[in-house]
Amino acid sequence: MRLPTPRTIVLGGIGADAHSVGLTLLKHAINEAGHSIHFMGTQNNLEDFFENAADADVVMISCMDGHLRHYLRKFPDLTLKYPGIDALWYAGGNLDVGSAERITGEARRLGFRRVFPTYVDIPTVLSVLDEDLLTRPAPVRGKPAAPRWPTHPGTAPPDQRLTMTELRQQRTGVLESWPTGARARDLADNAAFLLRQPSFAQAHAPRPRAERPFLVQPRSGVALAAAQRTAFTALRRAGADVLSYQIDSLTRNNEYQKAADGIAESRERGTSTLNGFPMVNHGVDVLRQMITEVRAPLQTRHSTRDPRLLAEISCAGGVTGFEGGAITYNIPYFKEYSLAQSLRRWQYVDRLVGLYREKFGVVIDREFFGTLTAVLIPPSLAIVVNVIEAMLAAGQGVGSVSLGYAEQGHRSQDIAAIRVLRELGQKYLANLGYPGVQVNIVFQQHMAAFPPERARAAQLIVASATTGRLSGASRLITKTPVEATTIPSVSDNQEGLHLSRLGALEADGVEVDERTVREEATVLRAEVDQILESVLTAGGGSLTDGVVKAFALGHLDIPFSPSVYNRGEVLTARDVQGAVRYLNTGRLTFSADVIDFHRSRMSERRRTAEPPVRSDWQLVERDVLQVPSGHYRKWPLDA
């Protein structure tokens, strides 16, 4: 139903949450329904919504990190500060790490008209929106102003190895930024402890006269150290080869005092109220005790805005794997965070890791989050970003890199992507003068929305593990059958491990479509080489300068990114076989042959779409929601 008078909707994400795909789709759906929309993007604070609510009919707040209670604490005060706002307030997403009923009641008592504590589809949102607005008087308003965001890309740091003087100058301030940093100061003491710990890099190393290892790694992350140790012990017993903790979203935004409050609240409630492990607050000695008890290669996973203190404490605590990079932990996660600044901060991290190797012989693995925004990511962009991150890290002395890729769901394309990722990662590092860097390949099980039915989710996990094993990846990061419905428990992760082991074993009886894999690999090599050439050309020989300028020019462009430093012109969808293609190549510098290839595949998809689609965005929405809505026969999609 289209209302006779368009209404004004304010839409945005709140807090540290970076999920932008659903917001982007909802924005276009509301536009196509005839309403005016003021799109705020992600990572707003509560007062930002009040400042934009005066001329709105509805204010929609998305929260996917489970901390809405924390973000709404000032709601009563702000209603007094901004009198006269008569907008209807909606909240939706993954609103609470604990009770959906509790957060629903609390939000409604604050005055929220609609509360969707878990996943809700776009047609339902549009339906209740029309229902709420149908009897509401139509105000006379102008067109909403577009948000004013910074667009200057900034100046990239020099593309050279940090000197010891430069590192020391930064290090003092980094270690003094929170009290636990002081314990990480002694590099020699840290290295002596690191050398006695299981090595994340060594776990990936090929064995003589043996197959390349296929490591299985579950996810975990809770507020209290004792509970985290218990989880690690259980996962290790369930067959995890390597372990990792996910850092909570408050720490990821460097809000250590708020993380401390979350630890205290978790102790008081007897359950974690944080969505991860607040490692900076726990500090070096807690980490050392944990890894001494668990005795498994351990990795820090995060997406922290300023990762320097986190890296210092991680290394000092005996953790031999550290994830993230200047692109992969910026563009998919932050709205207003310049690449120039993230490049500087990650140079520090990589130089610290390089220093441990050069001075003490400690090899700390550096992994890059090639998953990016997770949904409909064309493999060539994931490969390019991984290769760039690897070259930047090697330039600072890193000796082991893990290049990450998220399964997209077309088995032949995914296998081709993993093979090309390893091949070109090694090739470009060797060409740059770093042939000795160890290159590991990570296969992330489907990172987009999961099917809510447990049986379908389990089938996806098994088939995904089969694809990962067939691809030749070094490591598989697992999912659980409850991804769509709740935050996974330890037992859920144990089940995910069991299903993944089962899928890996089933790979022995599966035949790979080598012809299609070769065809996909040929396309990927051409795309990767063309994009990388444009990045290097933009920088005039400087990789750091090339990264900043390539994003500004649109020669690098990540679909669904929340970042204002990403043009957002590239659009992707699936072809009739389920492979991810470019629906719009934006300003990527592809050859005519590559553009024609994608245009042909997407034209065929438009012609055969059932039911027919009215717009490209409707096609994208259908593909994004295909798995959670159950509109597929079996995983992978080309099975």
Look up tokens 């949904």; give the residue.
375
- The distance from CA 585 to its chain's CA centroid, rounded to whole angstroms, is 22
Whether the CB-CB separation of 97 and 68 falls below 8 Å is answered with no
Give the separation between CA 479 and CA 460, rounded to whole angstroms: 9
Give the separation between CA 584 and CA 567, rounded to whole angstroms: 13
Whether the CB-CB separation of 495 and 398 falls below 8 Å is answered with no
3-state secondary structure 359-374: HHCCCCEEEECCCCCC
Whether the CB-CB separation of 14 and 49 falls below 8 Å is answered with yes
Active site residue 252: yes
Q: How many CB atoms lie within 10 A of CB 73?
A: 9
- The distance from CA 405 to its chain's CA centroid, rounded to whole angstroms, is 11
Q: In 3-state terms, what secondary structure has residue 35?
A: coil
Give the separation between CA 420 and CA 559, rounded to whole angstroms: 21
Give the separation between CA 364 and CA 377, rounded to whole angstroms: 28
Give the separation between CA 325 and CA 350, rounded to whole angstroms: 9
Cα distances (angstroms) measured from residue 480 to each of 217, 440, 476, 625: 12, 24, 13, 19
Whether the CB-CB separation of 312 and 349 falls below 8 Å is answered with no
Catalytic-labelled residue, pool 106, 255, 312, 323: 323
Instruction: Give the CA diameter of the chain.
Output: 76
Give the separation between CA 375 and CA 207, rounded to whole angstroms: 35
Whether the CB-CB separation of 560 and 373 falls below 8 Å is answered with yes
Catalytic-labelled residue, pool 252, 288, 351, 605: 252
Give the separation between CA 372 and CA 623, rounded to whole angstroms: 17
User: Phi and psi of 595, rounded to 5°?
Assistant: -60, -45
Q: Is 223 exposed, middle or buried (0-12, 13-18, 19+ CB in 10 A)?
A: buried
DSSP H/E element including 477: strand 475-477
> Do β-strands 400-406 and 365-368 pair in parallel, antiparallel, or remain unpaired?
parallel
Active site residues: 252, 323
